[in-house]
């Protein structure tokens, strides 16, 4: 995203006392957060705290129940250039029922740049972009492989490549390292590190900060439906910015885990596919 040299870059995400949830039930409340171009923000929190709801709220997958939300300076309800948002959903693997090649799955990310009422004809730019993002995630040699033959970590990289194929200005990722082994977590961290080095803005919901420690520039902790901490990794580690105490006015499921227990498996929300185990 280019900006005039004499003007500062606009925030990519700007929340002001925003609340998100469903059926009038606010899962995340009173959240204020600004994400600037080039930042890599990790969103941590125990199960049920509202961290995944934050990402889904930005995408319009959960209801906005209060406050204001701006994307690239526009009110979320007026924002239409959805290709600028690359989304990697919370999912361990692609469905075993999917019969498609890696390249075909990644090509789906290009659909945002085609008119829905016209037949999709792959352009030279489409092909170049698909090849480039497969190289970025280290899967060029598997482009023609059936996705069902890939490991969980490789499938996760396919989902990242699909999001990158839309040439977004920000990547929104929900638990990108969940459900993969330590070796594949390292590979994923290397992929995200390459993206960060290129200046890619990322908002990453995760419970495995250690794998991304060299990539993250900022940490947001969500606890009991509220943002309890927003600062640098060093500030969190040193305790120079304390977690805000929660006020106790939250629903029981938000209090399921103590704030000190940041590690933990990701929870499934109402829009997640039912979890299955793939070994």
Is residue 121 over pLDDT 70? yes
Q: How many domains does the structure of the chain reveal? A: 1
The helix, strand and coil proportions of the chain, stated in percent and rounded to the nearest 5, come to 30, 25, 45
Domain with 42, as residue range(s), is 13-255
Q: How far is CA 221 from the centre of its chain?
A: 15
Residue 122: inside a domain: yes
Is residue 117 over pLDDT 60? no
Sheet with 13-22, edge to edge strand ranges = 25-35, 13-22, 63-71, 74-75
Strands of the chain (E only): list them: 13-22, 25-35, 40-44, 63-71, 74-75, 85-88, 170-174, 201-205, 218-223, 226-231
Residue 276: inside a domain: no
Of the two residues 266 and 153, the one the predictor is more confident about is 153
Residue 265: inside a domain: no
> Mean pLDDT over all residues of the chain?
81
For the entire predicted model, the pTM comes to 0.79
Instruction: Residue 188: give its domain's CATH number.
Output: 3.40.50.300
pLDDT tens figures, 3-46 = 444 556 789 999 999 999 988 899 999 999 999 999 999 999 98
Pick from 52, 22, 99, 84: nearest CA to 272: 52
Instruction: Look at the alpha carbons of 182, 186, 192, 193 in this order and tell me if their dihedral is positive or negative.
Output: positive
Residue 260: inside a domain: no
Is residue 263 over pLDDT 70? no
**CA distance readout (Å), 65 to 15, 25, 74, 86:** 13, 8, 18, 23
Measure the CA–CA gap between 72 and 139, rounded to whole angstroms: 31
Confidence band (pLDDT; 50, 70, 90) for 87? very high
Measure the CA–CA gap between 225 and 54, rounded to whole angstroms: 10
Residue 274: inside a domain: no
Residue 270: inside a domain: no
pLDDT of residue 128: 95
CB proximity list for 3: less than 8 A, separation 6 or greater: 9, 10
- DSSP letter at 275? P
Residue 275: inside a domain: no
Confidence band (pLDDT; 50, 70, 90) for 115? low
pLDDT of residue 102: 94
Residue 60: inside a domain: yes
């Amino acid at each position: 995203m280019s900006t005039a040299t004499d003007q500062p870059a606009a925030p990519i995400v700007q929340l002001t006392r925003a609340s998100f949830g469903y059926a009038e039930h606010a899962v995340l409340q009173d959240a204020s957060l600004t994400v600037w171009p080039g930042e890599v923000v990790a969103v941590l929190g125990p199960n049920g705290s509202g961290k995944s709801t934050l990402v889904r709220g930005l995408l319009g997958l959960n209801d906005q129940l209060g406050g204001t939300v701006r994307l690239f300076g526009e009110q979320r309800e007026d924002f239409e250039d959805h290709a600028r948002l690359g989304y990697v959903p919370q999912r361990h693997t692609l469905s075993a029922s999917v019969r498609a090649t890696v390249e075909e799955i990644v090509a789906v990310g290009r659909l945002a740049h085609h008119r829905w009422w016209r037949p999709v004809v792959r352009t030279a730019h489409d092909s170049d972009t698909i090849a480039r993002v497969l190289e970025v995630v280290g899967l060029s040699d598997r482009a023609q492989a059936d996705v069902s033959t890939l490991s969980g970590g490789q499938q996760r990289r396919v989902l990242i490549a699909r999001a990158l194929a839309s040439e977004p200005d920000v990547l929104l990722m929900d638990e990108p390292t969940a459900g993969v082994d330590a070796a594949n977590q390292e590979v994923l961290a290397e992929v995200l590190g390459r993206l960060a080095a290129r200046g890619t803005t990322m908002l990453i919901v995760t419970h495995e900060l250690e794998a991304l420690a060299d990539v993250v520039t900022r940490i947001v902790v969500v606890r009991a439906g509220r943002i309890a901490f927003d600062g640098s990794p060093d500030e969190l580690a040193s305790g120079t910015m304390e977690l805000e105490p929660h006020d106790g006015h939250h629903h029981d499921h938000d209090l399921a885990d103590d704030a000190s227990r940041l590690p933990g498996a990701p929870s499934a929300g109402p829009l997640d596919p039912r979890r299955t185990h793939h070994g």
